[in-house]
Chain A
Amino acid sequence: MISNQAPDGPAGTVTTGAGGAVLARGGGLAARVRDMNIGVLREVALLPVLVLLIVIGAVVSPVFLTVTNIAGIGQQISALGVVVVGESLILMIGGMDLSLESTFGLAPMVAAWLILPVSAFGSGAQISPYLGLLVLLAVGAAIGLINGVLIVKGRLNGFIVTLGMTIVLAGLQNGIVKAQTLFNLPKAFGYLGSAYFGQVPVSFVVTAIIFALVGLFLRYHRTGRAIYAVGGNPAAARAAGIKVERIKIGVYVAGSMLAALGGLMEAGRVSAVTGQQGYGEGIIFSVFAAAVIGGVSLRGGRGNMIGAASGVILLGFVQNILDLANVSSYWIEAIDGAVILFALFMARIVGGESTAEEK
């Protein structure tokens, strides 16, 4: 029986008053409150840190809390955010993908190269920008499929496979355009990263929607639940009839497609695709930092989108405050890294045992 009335069962969390009587529906209610508590606590683990950063930001610069600045942060973190969603999914199945940063650069590069004329260092194929968007997603899917098949079917080490892939893809990114930067992107291609709804960047809205949809998918969809099961205990998931390999490969594909989409946002934001985008900037560190600070376990099975999103926002705040405070560029990386370590520590304190690494 599922009940908290059983003498040897763990006590429920809700009982009624001094009489000690347990409500008839006590078990269900207690469980619901308890579920909420655990969920809410874990998901807002970064809230105190975020509040602290907002206070510091406001003190450092009067500009920090202006609508323009916040919108700017929103646009800056959107591209990173989409990649973090992809990496979080991959971490949740117990995998890891370093090559997302290269996909972030290569996918928009290939698409822009096919769109632009030879005079702008394009291939001259001059395909429609809309077709280019499909190409972008297809490039992401193909990379994810290769990674997934090598890791899952070929049973190769995911760290090394994606490390090798990172370098191969970054080389392709530079190779196809001979290290040129592609400008003059068509409007449809740059729209996602550069347009605004009034004061609100389109990329921010899209990223927020992606976070929300993926969050709901993980919570309520059977495949989303299977992702948690596969990451938490692949052998048990397999024994329960879940197609573990299919789920894993699917997640690698989805993760790479999200990275490609993030790359599109970045290209639109800076109105160009450079050879540096992604791998050259080393964004994978920020991607992992945001996910892990947000409570996504590197060992799989744990994490959620609210946590991942707060990790992304935290990184955005830190970067913005350092910019506004005119911190010497010589020191900016050291401070950036220190803040990330501090945030990780805070998340561990607030999040409790569920965010701890195993002894």
Chain B
Amino acid sequence: MTSGRPALVDMTGIDKRFGSTVALSSVDLSISAGQCLGLVGRNGAGKSTIVSILSGLEAPDAGTVRFDGQPAPRVGDVGRWREWIATVFQHSMVVPGLTVAENVFLGGTERFVSWREMRARTRDVMRDWGYDIRAEALCRDLTVEQLQIVEIARALARGARCVLLDEPTAALEREAVRRLFARVRQLTSGGVAVLYISHHLEEVFEICDDVSVLKDGELVLTAPVAGLRKEDLIAAMVGSGTGVTKTTASTNGGPADRRANGHAEPVLSVENLTATSARGRLAGVSLQVGPGEIVGVTGLLSAGVATMGRAIAGAEGHDGGQIRLHGKVIPAGRRAAAQHAGIGYIPEDRRAEGFVAHLGVAENATMTITDKLADRLGLLRPARRAAAAAPVTAALSLVSSGPGQPVSELSGGNQQKVTVARTLAHDPGLIVAITPTRGVDVASKALLLDALAATARRRGAGVLLCTDELSDLVICDRVIVLVRGEVFTEFTDPPFDRDQLIVATEGLTSTASGSAEEAAQ
């Protein structure tokens, strides 16, 4: 602790398991009035579990939570819990069809609603904290930033003295982030305790007094930000020694050989692509993919990685810039046209976009090539369909009871193979694969990555691998890192160093080993 102030929130000896997974192990964490504590850690380090426990949504297996020295209310009694601590979640918890005042008092414990008082108290909170939002405004008319203010106001109106901000800048533009920081400083100077959870380390350095680092469910560091270097923080997050693993490049065909024919006409050429999307916006991205080249794109959740993949595949529109395949301009947001031009698409969420669940394996795998399989009358013979699907599904070792088996009956890994088979079947010149190995077992994962690599090597297809799964990047010749919708840096020399990739996705240029800048050049 930076001061002798009493702790407003005090977690001691918190343990939490989910099945056999240890989410948190003896975590001690306390925040005092007027303090802004940063909480950082990689995906899966246990940040979300801390948020759930501190929000009263989940009970710890062991340990206690105290507010201002008193035991916390019963878990699940969210109304009482909110009088102590309020969470502003990453995804807006505001009801769009209701007014600001109604949202501020949503889930309140009063039995009867006094509209007049509700509006008056909302106006008081807004005035006291200098927020410029009308109590009568409908929330669906507000911007993302204003919605966040409504959620902060909701916390303050309850009298909560602690506010938990979970990735508050994920959906905000730079200017809005600056204003948010001003509001956070205002809160802390007003005696409110703030727990600030973020993937962006530079934000932690800017706004927090102290920082705690979670790694694999354990709190490995808590220190004042003032005396800390970024390198120390990263070292703590990634873990030194045993935590560092270097990825090894796939050995079939060295990347150097392929870059030798780098003078060849690029398969894909993207210029200054901009897009707004719920998946993260793009602020002018340019890149090229050569024949037979596998280019990885990675970044944090909201960095625009998936948006870029979807825009290039035509699954989503874009606002500006140009996408060319073999020199020909691809129209924005028209998936069928993009596929016809030769862009294959392995979508992010296979259940939503990857297959039609009750149709058979062969039918799904050949859905992209019905024009080629049909005769002159447009008729498709099931036998022909099965024959066309067989080589692709066999190459992916897809296990099913037959070509007619509904895809809904397959395992997750085999379902993903159907999605990949569907893409490979139409022999695309470019494959856009978005998180193709998510939720897939280790063996299938290797198979899927090999299949993508083989398609690039043998057929000369370009592959754009958009993923936040760093281990998938082993098959890549180059890796582009996006930060906030812009190309931050590019790694051109496999094997890629995992730590350097992590540092780059955070938007930082210096590392513990100081080699990211070299790689970026």
Contacts and interface: CB of A to CB of B under 8 A. Distances in A.
Interface of A: 1-4, 6, 8-13, 27-28, 30-32, 34-35, 220-223, 225-226, 228-229, 232-233, 235-243, 301-302, 354
A241 B336 contact: yes
B359 A229 contact: yes
A240 B421 CA distance: 11
Contacts of A3: 399
Nearest to B385: A225
A344 B85 CA distance: 53
Interface of B: 313, 315, 335-336, 339-340, 345, 347, 352-363, 367-368, 370-371, 373-374, 377-382, 386, 389-390, 393-394, 397-405, 409, 422, 426
Contacts of A222: 370-371, 373-374, 378-380
Contacts of A32: 402, 404
B336 A235 contact: no
Q: Pick the most buried of A31, A229, A354: most chain B CB atoms within 10 A of its CB.
A: A31
Given A236-B352, A241-B340, A301-B356, A9 B399 contact: yes
Contacts of B397: 1
A27 B399 CA distance: 11
Contact of A12 (B335, B345, B402): B402
Contact of A8 (B361, B382, B394, B399): B399
Contacts of B356: 228-229, 232-233, 236-237, 301
A229 B345 CA distance: 17
B409 A10 contact: yes
Given A2-B393, A236-B352, A239-B345, 11 more contacts: A2-B361, A27-B401, A30-B402, A34-B401, A222-B370, A232-B357, A233-B352, A237-B356, A239-B354, A241-B335, A241-B336
Given A238-B315, A241-B335, A4 B380 contact: no
Contacts of A229: 356, 359, 367
Contact of B359 (A30, A228, A241, A243): A228
Given A222-B378, A239-B315, A301 B358 contact: yes
Q: Pick the most buried of A31, A233, A241: most chain B CB atoms within 10 A of its CB.
A: A241
Q: Pick the most buried of B336, B357, B393, B398: most chain A CB atoms within 10 A of its CB.
A: B336
Contacts of B386: 2, 28
Contact of B404 (A11, A31, A225): A31
Q: Which 3 A-B pairs have the closest CB atoms?
A: A31-B402, A241-B339, A9-B399
A34 B404 contact: yes
A221 B380 contact: yes
Contacts of A240: 339, 367-368, 422
A4 B340 contact: no
A12 B357 contact: no
Contacts of B371: 222
Nearest to B395: A1
A13 B404 CA distance: 12
Given A221-B378, A239-B347, A35 B370 contact: no
A233 B401 contact: no
A1 B392 CA distance: 9
Nearest to B406: A38
A233 B390 contact: no
B3 to A, nearest CB: 53
Contacts of A4: 401-402
B402 A1 contact: no
Nearest to A11: B401
Contact of B380 (A225, A236, A243, A301): A225
Contacts of A221: 374, 377-380
23 contacts: A1-B398, A2-B361, A2-B403, A9-B399, A9-B401, A10-B401, A28-B402, A31-B402, A34-B401, A34-B402, A34-B405, A221-B374, A221-B378, A222-B379, A225-B363, A233-B357, A236-B356, A237-B356, A239-B313, A239-B335, A239-B347, A240-B367, A241-B367
Contacts of B400: 2, 9-10
Contact of A31 (B347, B353, B380, B403): B403
A220 B381 contact: yes
A243 B370 CA distance: 12
A6 B426 CA distance: 27
Contacts of B367: 229, 237, 240-242
B350 to A, nearest CB: 9
A10 B400 CA distance: 7
B370 A2 contact: no
Contact of A1 (B340, B345, B353, B393): B393
B390 A2 contact: yes
A33 B363 CA distance: 17
Contacts of B368: 240-241
B375 to A, nearest CB: 10
A1 B399 contact: yes
A34 B362 CA distance: 15
A299 to B, nearest CB: 11
B336 A225 contact: no
A35 B404 contact: yes
Contacts of A220: 379-382
A27 B402 contact: yes
A2 to B, nearest CB: 5
A232 B357 CA distance: 7
Contacts of A235: 352-353
Contacts of B358: 232, 301-302, 354
A194 to B, nearest CB: 33
Contact of A2 (B340, B354, B394): B394
B335 A223 contact: no
B417 to A, nearest CB: 11
Nearest to A9: B399
Nearest to A228: B359
Contacts of A302: 358
A89 to B, nearest CB: 16
A12 B356 CA distance: 22
B359 A31 contact: no
A223 B394 contact: no
Contacts of A13: 401
A239 B352 CA distance: 10
Contacts of A2: 361-362, 386, 389-390, 393-394, 398, 400, 402-403
A220 B356 CA distance: 17
A27 B389 CA distance: 14
A10 B408 CA distance: 12
Q: Pick the most buried of B359, B362, B363: most chain A CB atoms within 10 A of its CB.
A: B359
A297 to B, nearest CB: 10
Nearest to A13: B401
A34 B340 CA distance: 34
B421 to A, nearest CB: 11
A238 B335 CA distance: 7
Contacts of B404: 31-32, 34-35
